[in-house]
Structure 1
Amino acid sequence: MSQPITHTIPQVMIQRAWKVVVVGAGGTGSAFLPSLARLHHAMVELGHPGGIECTVFDDDTVSETNVGRQGFYPNDVGQHKALLMVNRLNNLMGTRWNAEPRRVDSSVRLDADLVVGCVDSRRARHAIVQAAKRGRCSYYLDCGNETDRGQVILGEFGKARHDRLPHLGDLFPDLLNAKNDKGDDTPSCSMADALRKQSLVINQAISVQAFNLLWTLFRTGSLTYSAVFVNLATGRTNPIPIDPAAWARFGYEAPPAPVPKARKSRKSKAKS
């Protein structure tokens, strides 16, 4: 039986600012970004040297159906979501974050300690993973949801090892397969139509879990879980422990832990 693992924050993320890229400033992104700014402020107040340096990617503009359901207001209609969110937070929280009002595609290379995906399609998730692999990225935090349920999964890029946190693509490779995207991404004609497709609460629920996971990682320096599943219909929130046995239930087999070499006794050394 495998032993649970405690994941420890990399030393470099204690010594300098976290470089964070958020992809998607819509439903979940517009709920998560203010929380990320709060985390930045808390980190600085607690003595962290730099807090968070963030860049936000999103090529979409605010529509009338986004008002009230996402973090936007009537006067925002027609403006780029990434620019709005970043400018608003920079003015209110004193951050110096950057906005990229464009899509993450094959021309983008992401370099960050943490990439946060707040997108709702397999194609977009696949693009994020490929852009991260073209660059240098350590963590991938996927914040995905459907009508009234979703998942927050923190994973690591890099070669497989027994204690590497598996990312979304390791646990659920289907969620990176663009061929399996549903043909239901047609813009809603009204807010009422949009709410029939998706709970008004799900984006905030997912955002809170992502926020708490990052806060725990910073405040305690470690994690004992790396994923959370949220189901609003049942009112349940289920964390997934950092445990190869738990990962195996999703079909991911972590490499075995290296066996420590036995130390030779003094007598055996003398004989040799």
Structure 2
Amino acid sequence: MEKVHFVSNYLLNPTNPVTVNLIGAGGTGSVMITVLGRINNALLALDHPGLDVRLFDGDTISKNNTKRQLFSESEVGLPKSTCLINRVNRFWGTGWKAFAYHYTTENKYLMRNCKSANITISCVDKVQARFEIAEILRKIKLTENHPDRCIYWLDLGNSRYTGQSLIGTVHPVRQPTSKLYEPTERLPFVTEEYRNLLLQTEETDKSPSCSAAEALAEQDLFINPAIATMAGRLLMNMFTEGVINVRGFFMNIEDYQMQPITVNSIPLEFLNPLSVAA
């Protein structure tokens, strides 16, 4: 039978807006916040409580950021997170919050007050940041009745022409019985399933580009919005369909190709909810 994942019922019938921690406000994150705004607007039209988003990024806008990221020259010097959240709140009338610091264990305020959300979305450019996010999420205890209980982690990443997105479960999600499908309660983190590949990538990570020309040469102008849009499609499908057989994708915009990552493709060692996290 085909393996599928039935989405946590809390996302489908929440008592409050679904909380989202968006980590990173750069090339992909600056687009993803707008994607989340569109998802929220659509969910409200479907009588769903919508989303409550918190955006984390400790960087300020530089002139080079205005060439590939969604910032203007009049915003140079402002905190990325504050700028984007203010823009979204004015446009859609939301009350989302900006945190002008990085999502890290070194920030004690974050660890005490806002590390947990129903959905965590990472748009970071460093491998080590992904492993730190995984460590933070794994240490959050399962609290079924808490409105900010951790359920899913969606990671987005890219290189010059290629990128990927993969969603994992922070804790196993209770599944219904089915005669048609094989329900899968656990979706592995990107840091588990692709640990070795990430570690190899870390060795070749480049420092930030010194000029706008270098930034555009290192990353295609449209790779970030392409990834964010398809990741948004995956999230919207979870909210509206309640079941997924695709948990992510690989994308190559140079060759105009996209390869879905199916629930069927989960290695056997990750199907056991008691397996040790990487």
Between the aligned partners of 1:176 and 1:98, the Cα distance in structure 2 is 30
State TM-score, norm by structure 2. 0.83
Between the aligned partners of 1:99 and 1:5, the Cα distance in structure 2 is 38
Partner residue in 1 for 2:195: 173
Between the aligned partners of 1:125 and 1:181, the Cα distance in structure 2 is 14
CA contact (8 A) 1:121 1:181 kept: no
Partner residue in 2 for 1:42: 42
Between the aligned partners of 1:7 and 1:124, the Cα distance in structure 2 is 27
SS at match of 2:101: coil
SS at match of 1:55: strand
Corresponding letter in the other structure for 2:86: N
Which segments of 5 or more consecutive residues in structure 2 lack a partner in the other structure?
A: 141-148, 175-183, 274-278
| In the alignment, structure 1 residue 64 sits paired with structure 2 residue 63 | yes
1:158 Cα deviation after fit: 2.5
1:175 Cα deviation after fit: 5.8
Partner residue in 2 for 1:144: 157
Corresponding letter in the other structure for 2:4: T
Q: How many residues align?
A: 248
Alignment of 1:220-259 (within 5 A): 220-243=241-264, 246-248=265-267, 253-255=269-271
Partner residue in 1 for 2:239: 218
Corresponding letter in the other structure for 2:88: L
1:170 Cα deviation after fit: 2.1
Using the TM superposition, name which of 54-63 and 164-173 deviates more.
164-173
Corresponding letter in the other structure for 1:151: Q
Corresponding letter in the other structure for 1:231: N
Cα RMSD between the aligned structures?
2.1
Partner residue in 1 for 2:33: 33
Q: Which digits, 9 at most, give the CA deviation of each residue in 1:123-168, with x for residues without a partner?
A: 1111211222233521010001111101110110126995311120
State TM-score, norm by structure 1. 0.85
Q: Which digits, 9 at most, give the CA deviation of each residue in 1:177-209, with x for residues without a partner?
A: 599343512x32321111111111110111011
| In the alignment, structure 1 residue 7 sits paired with structure 2 residue 5 | yes
Partner residue in 2 for 1:262: none
| In the alignment, structure 1 residue 20 sits paired with structure 2 residue 20 | yes
Which segments of 5 or more consecutive residues in structure 1 lack a partner in the other structure?
A: 258-272
Q: Which digits, 9 at most, give the CA deviation of each residue in 1:213-238, with x for residues without a partner?
A: 00111111121110110011221101
Identity %: 32
Partner residue in 2 for 1:83: 82
Alignment of 1:70-219 (within 5 A): 70-106=69-105, 107=107, 108-109=110-111, 110-135=115-140, 136-158=149-171, 163-174=185-196, 177=199, 180-185=202-207, 187-219=208-240
Tell me: higher relative CO, structure 1 or 2? Use CA pairs within 8 A at least 6 residues apart: 2
Q: Give 1 or 2 for the bigger CA radius of gyration.
A: 1
Between the aligned partners of 2:189 and 2:24, the Cα distance in structure 1 is 18
Are residues 6 and 96 of structure 1, via their aligned partners in 2, closer, same or farther at CA, if it must alter by over 3 Å?
same
CA contact (8 A) 2:8 2:173 kept: no
SS at match of 2:98: strand
Between the aligned partners of 2:119 and 2:103, the Cα distance in structure 1 is 15
Between the aligned partners of 1:112 and 1:118, the Cα distance in structure 2 is 16
Between the aligned partners of 2:14 and 2:85, the Cα distance in structure 1 is 25
CA contact (8 A) 2:172 2:185 kept: no
1:10 Cα deviation after fit: 1.4
1:95 Cα deviation after fit: 0.7
Corresponding letter in the other structure for 1:202: I
